[in-house]
Amino acid sequence: MLKIRLQRIGRKNDPTFRAVLTDSKNSTKSGRFLEILGTYNPRMNNVTQERNFMTDRIKYWITKGAKCSDTMHNFLVQDKIISGKKVNVLPKKKPTKKRKELKAKK
């Protein structure tokens, strides 16, 4: 299955990402991709982060059956390239255990 996701490029402590079309079986760090679909620079400015996506190519690949990663989906919804609701990408919080409960288990 084809996926549209972000691939990290750039130096240490200076992240820059490129939006790529890749097979879902490729790992994120493998470097294999079929097509570059845009770039994302989170360090440009805290208020206006630089995002350059090729909207026509993204829409083309989505019609061909490519799926977006959750973060990429949220970017596309925010830029109004696709319609829909944003997806929660934050991990779910686990309930905190009190110390007495932990000591009782031991």
CATH code of residue 24: 3.30.1320.10
In the prediction, which pLDDT does 57 show? 94
Q: Number of structural domains, the chain?
A: 1
Domain span at residue 15? 2-87
In the block, residue with structure tokens 């779910």? 92
Name the nearest CA neighbour of 81 among 38, 43, 46.
38
In the prediction, which pLDDT does 34 show? 92
Q: Is 95 part of any domain?
A: no
In the prediction, which pLDDT does 47 show? 61
In the prediction, which pLDDT does 23 show? 92
Print pLDDT tens along the chain (106 aa).
999 999 999 899 888 999 999 998 887 778 889 999 999 998 866 666 788 999 999 999 999 999 999 999 999 999 899 999 999 888 877 776 666 655 666 5
